[in-house]
Amino acid sequence: MGGYQRADVEQVLPYLFDAEAAYGIKAEVYVEDGMPKGYSDPSKGNSIFAALSDVRRAWRDTDLSLVERQAVLMRHVLDLELKVIAAFQSVEASTAMRRHERGVGKLTAWLNGETYVDGYDSLPEPAAA
């Protein structure tokens, strides 16, 4: 599978709880008014809005621990530094970072229909020789 990368998930996490987020996210295929528009293939269109919807569902349905949810929410939605998250959770910054990384990894794995393992990054499989 592997349709979502960690970066895709992290791109939309700041808008997780913003009901009007779709109005504030600029689509990658956006063309300024007055600029020429080229041919557009709808099957290859921007999927930022679909990704936001998918990540919201993953947030609801993925088996994240409370501390993982806190770390992801505090880092991406509240835009707090890891040292602040660590202080809130009464742990070292490295522990807060692992919790954050594990949370984003679990969300990404869930979106791809894959089983999460520590270090999950949904990297493409190497090409067969």
Rounded Cα gap, residues 57 and 10, in angstroms: 14
The one-letter amino acid code at 58 reads A
Rounded Cα gap, residues 57 and 69, in angstroms: 14
Q: Cα separations (Å) of 119 from 93, 97, 99, 112, 115?
A: 18, 12, 11, 15, 12
Provide the whole-model pTM.
0.74
Could you say which of 1.10.3470, 2.70.98, 2.40.50, 1.10.10 is the CATH number of the domain covering 6-27+46-111? Answer: 1.10.10
Question: pLDDT 10s digit of each residue in the chain, 129 long?
Answer: 458 999 989 999 999 988 776 665 555 555 566 655 555 444 444 577 788 889 999 999 999 999 999 999 999 999 999 999 999 999 999 999 999 999 999 999 999 999 888 876 655 555 554
